[in-house]
Structures are given as C-alpha cells and as structure tokens.
Amino acid sequence: MSYPFAEIEKKWQLYWENNQTFATGEDLSKPKYYVLDMFPYPSGAGLHVGHPEGYTATDIIARKRRMQGFNVLHPMGWDAFGLPAERYAMQTGIHPKVTTKQNIDNFRRQLKSLGFSYDWSREIDTTSPDYYKFTQWIFLKLFNSWYDAAAKKARPISELKIPSDLEGDAKKKEREDFIANHRLAYIANMPVNWCAELGTVLANEEVDEWVGKGYKVERKPMRQWMLRITAYAERLLTDLEHVDWPAGTLELQKNWIGQSTGALVHFGIAGSPEKLTVFTTRPDTLYGVTFMVLAPEHPLVDKIAADSAKAEIDAYRKTTALKTDLDRQLDAAKKEKTGVAIGAHAMHPVTGEKIPLYIADYVLMGYGTGAIMAVPAHDERDFAFAQQFSLDIRQVVQPRESAAELPVTEDGVAINSPIFDGLKTPEAKEKIIAHLEKEKLGERRIQYKLRDWLFSRQRYWGEPVPVSFDADGFMVAEEESALPLLLPESKNFQPAGTGESPLANLPDWVNHEKGGRKLRRETNTMPQWAGSSWYYLRFADTANKERFASAEKEKYWLNGGVDLYVGGAEHAVLHLLYARFWHKVLYDLGYVTSVEPFKKLVHQGIILGEDGSKMSKSRGNVVNPDTVVAEYGADTFRLYEMFMGPLEQMKPWQSKSIEGIYRFLGRVYRLYFGNTHSDENAPAQPTLSAKLLAAPADEKAVLKVLHQTIKKVSDDIETLSLNTAISQMMIFVNEAYRVESIGKEAAATFVKLLSPFAPHVAEEIWQALGEKGSIALAPWPQFNAEYLVESSFEAVIQINGKIRGRTELAIGISDADFESAARSVDAVKAALEGKTVRKVIVVKNKMINFVVA
C-alpha cells in the first residue's frame, strides 16, 4: 500500500484547526513551558527550507512537553516593518501594508502546511496598531526614564534631581537640556550610514546588502534618536551568567560590549584652553607617546586645526565619509595607513612635551573618546602609521626576550619611564594611574566598546515616534492614553528630500495642536529592531488592550525567561542585545519579573544548497518547501530536516537522502496497516495489521527495544539530538518487522514517540488504533529500567585472534564456564581438535581468545 500523505495531512491539519488542538491553556496552576522561534520577516520570496529547520525542532519539544502535561506556549508572529517593503512601495506605489499582508498570508499558509503546533490565536504582526501601541509605550518609558548609576537601575524622570540653579522660567532651556542629557531616549547629531537614493539611514548590518545591490552609502552627521544602552553595559555583561547560551554567542556578546580596564588621560592643547581626553588600556606606555590621532569627525578638530591644514582636512573627511565603520575597521588592519596632520599639538601631561596631532580613519568616533595616544613601539597600527609618516618611535617596555622586534605588544618591564622604570607591566599600570589621579591628570576607568543605539530611520514603513516639538524646540511626548500614534495613510513613499522620512510629506499629520499649542511631530520612525525587541512578552497575553501583558501572565510565562529560544546565529549579537536592554529597563521599572528574557538559546545551522553553497536566487539553488511537501509530504520534510545531522551544524540539502526518509515513513505506515487493497483501482481502506493485534511471540525482545527507544528518544529530544532520536526509531521499526508480532500496546507506545516528529501519520495511526482524541494530548511514554538491564550477551570466540564462533551467554558467567561453553560450540570444537591450547584470554561479558600451537 502506498503512503497517502496528501490525504492524511490535509485531514489532520483541518482537525487541529477546527478543534483548536494547540490553543494555549489558561490554567496558570499547571507547570509552564514557553518555547519560541525567532519570528521571521515575511519576504515576498516566502519560506525556504532553512526556515523550518529551527521551527521543526521547537515543534518537537513543544509537542513532547504537552504530552508531559505542561501548559505550553508555542506562538508565531511576523517582524513585518522593514526596508524591503518600503523600497518596493517607492518603486511601484503599492502601499507596504498590501505587500506585507500578502507575504504574511503566504508564510502562514506554508507554516500550516508543515503541521507546526502553533497557537495561531496568538499570532502577532509588528505593523498592527494593536501591537505597535505598546512598542511606542515602551519607547515612552525609555524617554521618561534615566539611569541612576549609584543604584544601578533606571528610574522615572520624575525622580531625577534637578539642580537648584536651574529652577525658574528663565532657566527652562537649561533645565530641559539637563533632563535630555539624562533620558534613556535622547536626540543627538551622530555620524550615520546615509543612503540618499533610499532616503534613509542604514544599520551597519544593512550596508553590505544594499551596497551589493548598487546603492551608494556615505557617512555623515545627522540628527538622530539614540537609546542609552551604554548605561546598561555592565549589567548586560555580568547578567550573562544567568543564561544557558552557546559559548560562541556568549563570547560574541562579551566582545560587542567590550569591557576594558584602563585610564582616562587628559592632554592639554598647545595655545588653546581645550583639552583632549583619551582612554588607554596601557597607561604604563604613557612615556612612549610620540603623536596622537583623532577620528576625522572629532569636534575638537574644527576648534584647534591650523588654517593651513583645513583644506586637506576637508578633503580627507570627504573620502572618509564614503567608508562605513566596518570598512574603516578592516582598513585599520592593513599596513598602509592614511592621515592628515592638523597643524596643532597636544601637551604631554607628564613630560610637558609637544605632541603632533593627526586625523586618521582608523580611529572611530564611536569608540572610546574618538582619539588615541599613539605609542608606536607597542601597538601595531601606531607602528605602521609612524613608519608611514616618519614619526618618532620610543620604546618604553622591555619584553622578556630582549631581542624582540618592535612593536612589542606583550607585557614586560617599564624602561625609559622616569619614576616607573623597572616595574613589571601590571605594577607600572597601577602606579601610573595613581600618579595621574594624584596630579588630576587622569583617572582609573572601566570602558566599554558598546555604543548607544541609533534608533532613527528616515522611512515611512515603521513605528511613528510618539514625540512632538513646539516652536521653541521643546519636546512634548504623547500621552500614554492617546497611544497608538497611528502611522498615517499615504500614497507618497518617496524621501522628503530634507533628510527626513516620507512622513514629512504629510503636513496635515506633521502639524497639529495640543491645548492651543502648535506642535510638529517627529518624522523619523523607529528601526525594525524595535518591534522584535519585546515580542516575546506580547505572546504571553496578546488579547490585552490595556497592557503589553497582564502582570499575572507575564509572571507566569516569563518566570525565569523564555524556556527555549531557537533561531539563527546571525542574530547572536544585536537582536539579543537590544531585547536584553529593553527587558532590563522594564525590569527596573517593575513591569517584568525576570532578569533576563531568554533562559536557554539554541542556534540551528544553515542549510546549504545541494551544491554546498549558501542558498540564493542568483545561484539557482534555493529549495522551496512547498515543492518538497507536494512530492513527499510534510512529515517526510520534517523528519528529513531533523535527520540531516546535528541541529547546530551547517549541512547541505540532499534530495536523494529525503527519499530514504520517505521510504521509512512508508514502512511505518505498512507496519500498522499492512499491504491490503480493497480493489485495484480504488484507494485502499486500511485496516490494522495482524502484526499489531496478536500478542508478541517474542515479548521480551519487543519490550527491550521498545523501552530502549522510549529512553533514547526522550533523552535526545531534551538535548535536541533529533537525528539520533530518529535513528533509534528506525531501529525499533526494523525490529518490529523482524518479529512475528509486537502487540497493540507496544504499537501505541511507539506511535506516541513518533508523533512529535511526524504528527500527521501519527494521528492517523492513533485513530486507527481506536484511541480517543488527538495523540498530541496523549501522555508521553515512560521507560521501565527493568527492560534495559541486559541478562545475556553475545560472546565472541576467537582462536589466535580470528573469530571462529559466537554464542549467547549469561551476564556474569565465570571464566571457567565461559571457556567450557566456548569449547562446546561446534565450529570452535572442530578448530581446536588436535591443537595445543597454550593460553586462554577472557574479556568479561565480551569475548574469549584461545592461543594455540
């Protein structure tokens, strides 16, 4: 009988939908399990086979948890704001909400066709006003909060102590500036990746994608909303101890936050009241400073540069503006360096020596203070720059190997450093910092590489920022009761031409009044990161109109965080970092109860094309799951994706291998329904195989492999070792075919184990077995350890190291009895005849070897 997957899968998908089989339970007294996928951006291309890999893994564990009696939250939604939909609208005039809805409908159809047990009643869409109402609400919490460094937590702005000299109407501007300098959401002029053709700022991660499509990107300073994530740098680092994440992801998070211990050093400027402060992790090399380098964008350059250097500075800045920060970081690793002397000098804080100042693109304004003290004898980049510009190189650290070539970057002993000579590097650091602090020339500092979050996008298709400005430039936030601030309807998606978003083209929306006060709305929108930074919270209570989630449901579902979070490693840094930041602000303000949002994290590996390359339209190697499901069925597709190899590993798609999985499911189907046909031309009316109904003739063998399978599959699902779980189920099926019968109880137990992996065929078998309700709600099997205890073993018998026979013997048999039993085996008896046994070697419960002459 052929395996009628199309008929079976359609039938059970309809059953699940009609019966709301996977609706999340409301009984908050039950143990909970929250398993979450990183929700997708619904592109026009639809799902490719890489998406369902992680979704299948989470579905398997969600189904097992339901069968174990847990209240399971397993939801799905759409990260649907984004630049691709806006760009398409700019090109075609079709509203982004139209194409976004079409894409979502297609993604939903594809996911349902694969039988995932999502609670579709909790589906969310980040572009829905019901959703972005709370995205805006969280933004206002950030806007109306400040970080109390002493208490190490966010507090409402109402608790910020305003200096007494800023009271009164005359000081309104200064007072507002003081508050703005403390808000967690603030406005600043920042260097950004600007694409004039797209009319928007691009995140660093988006630059390569759009440059690859032929767009030009330049660096330029622009007015931007920023989020003060740097205030949380220490907590974002130390709280990683609370999570169970892959070691590589933890390391990426730590590196991105980038904690460094060192000192701030203050340099005076010759002939100017200005000062230049730098951060260094090697204050022990202070005497080795022979020049200093500023980022080309550093604001001090315009104040101190010589007039004679300004033309060259401007030209260099224009060249630098065409490079992204990533380009500049990559260039920094190259030996060839570029730069411009600005015709000014700093004053060495200890020696009083004049030090020439340069600008160079290998120094970034976004890192540290945007300036460095260059010690070419002990830094590779500084050494290359000094050689390029024929600058002095002064060694101040003696390495362990006195003949080592410059630059010497490792620790050693201080030399050419009066009052610190002879000190080992750690001691020299401490003594120099103490000296700087005593003379008020610097101070000890823990610095972070992490920069504040640039939160503005010049796009139409994004969440409106709920802030307006009056005629004097003072900010006025929307009242929370007035949210959501709706994205206005528009037919014009072209950039405003002023550096603003297309919203600036809508004067009736931009200009409004409040209490007789004329206001102008913010025209920048939020980045796509906004909606994805808190969506896991909304799933806990999607029907709530008053709060992102009720306190009761947040506490229940987010107790300790999301229990299992699965998604691609490409989100290992920024998405996780931003979500953790928002979560911690909400934690400080009392809206969430867990310190971290995601308890356990797993990354699925990339599925490559059959040619071993990353799937892409241009290579023509993309595999559409619709095609696979049509040919082999959803259960085969699910099993194959899990059987390809370890979940976390990268692996190529192989069409021939999926045929093997299809044959395996066919064997399972025939095991339960036999090969009977009602007639040659009509579809079979399957009846249960006699193999299932008769009592097992070899019950001991059946129970042994059954309970081995229960234990192996149960354990492997917990570790997401899903490929080996499938291998064990194959072993069971092979054994079931070997014996005359397995009995109905073993047959029912096995199909429970199969059901999380291949749910459609499992439901069909479950119904045929006469069981009531969905197998998805049946109790998960428990293994009996008694059946796993081995009472016998297959003894291997060798003569002079060559196998001559085998026999079944009792576990624990004595060496003497082992030898006697081995000698009685006919083949061994014949081989030993006429030979002298010089030695007998016994390996307990395994083998025996006769050494003969």
CA distance 834 to 828: 12
With beta carbons less than 8 A apart as the criterion, state whether 533 and 579 touch: yes
The encoded tokens of residue 650 equal: 């990268």
Radius of gyration of the chain (CA): 34
- The helix/strand/coil state of 192 is strand
CA distance 749 to 369: 65
Residues in the chain: 853
Rounded to 10 degrees, what is the CA torsion of 139, 141, 143, 146?
Answer: -140
The encoded tokens of residue 694 equal: 């008769």
CA distance 210 to 200: 12
CA distance 826 to 98: 81
Residue with tokens 């992996």: 757
How many other C-beta atoms are found inside a 10 Å radius of the C-beta of residue 241? 8
With beta carbons less than 8 A apart as the criterion, state whether 190 and 221 touch: yes
Please spell the DSSP secondary structure of 500-568, one letter per residue.
Answer: S-GGGG-HHHHEEEETTEEEEE---B--THHHHTSHHHHTT-TT-SSSSS-HHHHHHHTTTSBSEEEE-
Residue ranges of the alpha helices (H) in 401-539?
Answer: 425-438, 507-510, 529-532, 535-538
Residue ranges of the alpha helices (H) in 644-758?
Answer: 655-673, 690-693, 699-718, 722-738, 744-754
The encoded tokens of residue 465 equal: 């920022």
For residue 538, give Cα distances in angstroms to 107, 118, 545, 557.
Answer: 20, 15, 11, 11
CB under 8 Å to 570, separation ≥6 — which residues? Answer: none
With beta carbons less than 8 A apart as the criterion, state whether 651 and 605 touch: yes
CA distance 293 to 316: 14
Residue with tokens 């046994």: 837
Q: Which residues partner with 81 through β-bridges?
A: none
With beta carbons less than 8 A apart as the criterion, state whether 468 and 519 touch: yes
CA distance 139 to 475: 14
Closest C-alpha to 103, from 48, 45, 52, 38? 45
CA distance 330 to 336: 12
Axis-axis angle for helices 634-643, 722-738 (nearest 10) = 120
With beta carbons less than 8 A apart as the criterion, state whether 321 and 219 touch: yes
Please spell the DSSP secondary structure of 246-269, one letter per residue.
Answer: -HHHHHHHHHHH-EEEEEEEEEEE
For residue 697, give Cα distances in angstroms to 34, 623, 668, 691.
Answer: 43, 46, 20, 10
617 marked as binding residue: yes
With beta carbons less than 8 A apart as the criterion, state whether 749 and 766 touch: no
Binding residues: 617
Binding residues for ATP: 617
